[in-house]
Amino acid sequence: MSETNTIKQNFIETSDAKESREFLVAKVAELTEKLEALPSVVAPTERAKVLLDLANAELGMTQMSEVWNHAKAAFDLCIAHEEWQLAVEACDLLYQTELPSSIIALGHGVWLSVTYPLEPEYSINMLNYVINETTDDADGAALAAITAHFIVDHRSSGKQLVDLKVLTTNMLAKVALRHSKVETQVGLDVWMDKMELRDPDVFLPRMGMVVGAIVGDGNWWFDRKELQAKIA
């Protein structure tokens, strides 16, 4: 690329970034005003959605403390009113702040998205974060990948099932390559047997232990037994 073209490209990128930031500033102002204007008695879901939209705009501006405050407020509302999918969206935003407790938020998001029958994409997203967080030799990545694969089988059908199975199969293959240098289907089958990834009665409890380790003792934001009782 010539110097003239480089300057032109840099100018375009700078202009785009400026326009994007101006858009986000305006969006934050608009959503802040909308939040403040909500009546004291309003559907919890409506308030939570505004809080999440605001947190998302703030994330774009890297205002991480504000993102945390608004996403955590949305999370608390969603848990209190059993809006599990929105609660997972809040955990996603909390995790992306990369603040000290963001890993705890990830654990909560994984627990909710595996425990409750949400849209499978939410579970895959949360479990993929776990894969990215683990070291190459850690078993947690394998457990996250097979759990995503299992969830797709049980929560999707038709084209969605086909598309998502391709995604989770690739997740498994990537983890196997990373973990044990597995490069063939035969090798993958052997690796899955060795890692005990065939039986959900075996790998799901182990995944639960991984989530428990992510969150840590005494760091849970809700009573898991109480929430599990709500499924029945």
pLDDT digits (tens, 9 = 90+) for 166-219: 999 999 999 999 999 999 999 999 999 999 999 999 999 999 999 999 999 999
Position 229 scores a pLDDT of 87
What is the percentage of the chain residues whose pLDDT exceeds 70? 92
Closest to 125 in 3D by CA, of 140, 109, 138 = 109
- Would you tell me how many other CB atoms lie within 10 Å of the CB of residue 116? 18
Closest to 195 in 3D by CA, of 213, 179, 214 = 179
Reply yes or no on whether the pLDDT at 35 is more than 90.
Answer: yes
d(CA 200, CA 214): 20
Question: pLDDT tier at 20 (50, 70, 90 boundaries)?
Answer: confident
Position 11 scores a pLDDT of 39
d(CA 22, CA 1): 29
Question: pLDDT tier at 5 (50, 70, 90 boundaries)?
Answer: low
What is the percentage of the chain residues whose pLDDT exceeds 90? 84
Burial level of 186, CB count in 10 A (0-12/13-18/19+)?
Answer: exposed
Indicate the DSSP class of residue 38.
S
d(CA 100, CA 97): 9
Domains of the chain, residue spans? 1-99, 100-217
Q: What is the mean pLDDT of the chain?
A: 91
